[in-house]
Copies of this chain bind each other. A is one copy, B any other.
């Protein structure tokens, strides 16, 4: 399942807090996107059709909830990205970013800590 960029903004909202009505979502997104209600609703329908969200009828309207986890989406996107540019591997990305000074010392520390954890638990 491929989530587009506009759809992703809706999903982020839902992952953050759900269920939510289309009106609530439109309000929450208004600021960041400037989208009209109709836009939000159209995107919700596309997400429904591809099974990325679920809708539960409540009175006059619906409550929407994510149908896929953010974790899963992130995994898919990461695999796609790494496959495209780095032969599917993480190390070359780290190498690239470090070559281009795109990693600051704090991040470096974080990653080092992560790796230590990984080693310990293995």
What residues make up the interface of A, taking CB atoms closer than 8 Å to B? 5, 8, 71, 74-75, 77-79, 81, 84-86, 89-91, 93-98, 100, 102-103, 105, 107-108, 110-112, 114-115, 118-119, 122
Contact = CB atoms under 8 A, between A and B. Distances in A.
Given A8-B84, A85-B77, A111 B91 contact: yes
A8 B83 CA distance: 13
Contacts of A95: 114
A90 B114 contact: no
Contacts of A86: 74
Nearest to A115: B112
Main secondary structure on A side of the interface with B: helix
